């Protein structure tokens, strides 16, 4: 039996599915991944852009980087990979989509049960008070300030060294511990605690199916590892 057929069988029998996605699923929509030869970290060091320290040191630079990414994302459309995950959600009893992506393409594709564990690039929030605003159209040319307290506003994403949103993360862990199949699509799974979800699923007895264009650290440990593009393999899986 080919790995693709095996993965199809696993998925066809499952009623409780969890899905972990990463930047690779949006790559075919034209949004760069983080790692790898064409990744964002090729030109920028994560510690210069995606940490609270970087923002404290140079908020203008960090905002410029996020405004550049917002513009790329605004021009992008969900692809066949995103749409295939909507089809899975419609077929099974429980489907929890856990995404590390901040681009909102799963929402735009039509998925409904989404856990955004690394935040949302369209969210702008205050560092000091509870103010936040979700807006896909606003453009900042300089560091925005909070209309309520005057402190700096920041992108509503999770940077290195910051905790994940607690309730979202707890729900994600629960869904993974309870699923029959965990589908892992387009992530290098090098960033924790998200990467730990794969071990959590295996330990709880779930089958794990990885889709990635390259081998990852998890490729040998998962139940089935498929090499190829999300936009090609995910539709074939459903
Ligand atoms: C395709 C494809 C196609 C391409 N088809 N495939 C345990 C051990 C070691 C370190 C740690 C640990 N626990 C915590 C840490 C520290 C740190 C960490 O994990 N560091 C590692 C790098 C080692 N983690 C954290 O700091 C986290 N916070 C935390 O743990 O807090 C604890 C705490 C508790 C209480 C108080 C205080 C703290 C937070 C992590 C936040 C990560 N944030 C980022 C930026 C988000 C905002 C933004 O977008 O700007 O999230 S970093 C970046 O990496 C982004 C991504 O979501 C994340 C994952 O990347 P992803 O999605 O996997 O992308 P790539 O590029 O790595 O991979 C793409 C893959 O797709 C590749 O494999 C390609 O082959 C593939 N591909 N095209 C199929 N078409």
Per-residue pLDDT tens digits for 98-127: 999 999 999 999 999 999 999 999 999 999
Map residue 97 onto helix, strand or coil.
Answer: strand
> Does residue 32 have its Cβ closer than 6 Å to ligand 1?
no
Choice from 20, 21, 24, 50 to test ligand 1 binding pocket (greatest atom count within 8 A of CB): 24
pTM for this structure?
Answer: 0.97
Q: Which residue has tokens 């923002």?
A: 55
Is-catalytic flag, 118? yes
Of 75, 81, 155, 145, residue with least CA distance to 116: 155
Of 72, 77, 62, residue with least CA distance to 33: 72
Q: Which residue has tokens 């990885």?
A: 210
Q: Strand pairing partners for 132?
A: 125
Token code pair at residue 187? 């992530």
> Does residue 230 have its Cβ closer than 6 Å to ligand 1?
yes
Token code pair at residue 228? 């190829």
Give me the pLDDT at residue 149, please. Answer: 97
Measured from the Cα of 191, ligand 1's closest atom is 19
How far apart, in whole angstroms, are the C-alpha atoms of residue 96 and residue 102? 16
Token code pair at residue 235? 């539709």
Between strands 119-126 and 153-157, the pairing is antiparallel
Between strands 132-134 and 119-126, the pairing is antiparallel
Q: Are 36 and 45 in contact (CB under 8 A)?
A: no
Give pLDDT tens digits for 136-183.
999 999 999 999 999 999 999 999 999 999 999 999 999 999 999 999
Give me the pLDDT at residue 43, please. Answer: 81
Rounded mean pLDDT of 64-79?
96
Choice from 43, 45, 160, 233 to test ligand 1 binding pocket (greatest atom count within 8 A of CB): 160
Q: Rounded to the nearest whole angstrom, what is the distance from the C-alpha of residue 134 to the centroid of ligand 1?
A: 23
Give me the pLDDT at residue 96, please. Answer: 98
Candidate list 82, 115, 118, 218, residue with the active-site label: 118
Q: Rounded to the nearest whole angstrom, what is the distance from the C-alpha of residue 192 to the centroid of ligand 1?
A: 6
Token code pair at residue 5? 């057929």
Q: Percent of the chain, pLDDT > 70?
A: 100
The mean of the pLDDT values for the chain is 96
Measured from the Cα of 196, ligand 1's closest atom is 7
Rounded mean pLDDT of 126-132?
95
Give me the pLDDT at residue 90, please. Answer: 96
Token code pair at residue 200? 């959590």
Q: Are 85 and 109 in contact (CB under 8 A)?
A: yes
pLDDT at 46 > cutoff 90: no
**86 to 29, 137, 197: CA distances (angstroms):** 16, 26, 21
- Residue 157, φ and ψ in degrees, nearest 5: -120, 170
Among protein residues, the one with the nearest Cα to ligand 1's atom 55 is 100
Q: Are 65 and 83 in contact (CB under 8 A)?
A: no
Alpha carbons within 13 angstroms on the beta-carbon side of residue 236 total: 15
Map residue 149 onto helix, strand or coil.
Answer: coil
pLDDT at 37 > cutoff 90: no
- Residue 112, φ and ψ in degrees, nearest 5: -115, -30
């Amino acid at each position: 039996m080919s790995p693709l057929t095996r993965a199809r069988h696993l998925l066809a029998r499952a009623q409780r599915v969890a899905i972990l996605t990463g930047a690779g699923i949006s790559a075919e929509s034209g949004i760069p991944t983080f790692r790898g030869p064409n990744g964002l970290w090729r030109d920028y060091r994560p510690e210069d852009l995606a940490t609270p320290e970087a923002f404290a040191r140079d908020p203008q630079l960090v905002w410029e980087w996020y405004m550049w990414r917002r513009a790329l994302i605004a021009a992008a459309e969900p692809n066949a990979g995103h749409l295939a995950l909507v089809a899975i959600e419609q077929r099974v009893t429980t489907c929890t989509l856990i995404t590390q992506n901040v681009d909102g393409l799963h929402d735009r594709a039509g998925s409904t049960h989404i856990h955004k564990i690394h935040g949302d690039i369209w969210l702008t929030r205050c560092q000091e008070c509870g103010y936040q605003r979700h807006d896909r159209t606003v453009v900042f040319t300089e560091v925005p300030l909070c209309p309520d307290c005057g402190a700096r506003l920041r992108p509503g994403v999770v940077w290195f060294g910051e905790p994940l949103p607690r309730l979202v993360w707890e729900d994600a862990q629960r869904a993974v511990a309870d699923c029959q199949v965990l589908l892992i699509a387009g992530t290098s799974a090098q960033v924790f605690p998200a990467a730990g979800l794969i071990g959590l699923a295996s330990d709880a007895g779930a089958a794990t199916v990885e889709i990635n264009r390259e081998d990852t650290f998890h490729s040998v440990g998962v139940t089935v590892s498929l090499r190829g593009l999300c936009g090609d393999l995910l539709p074939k899986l459903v």
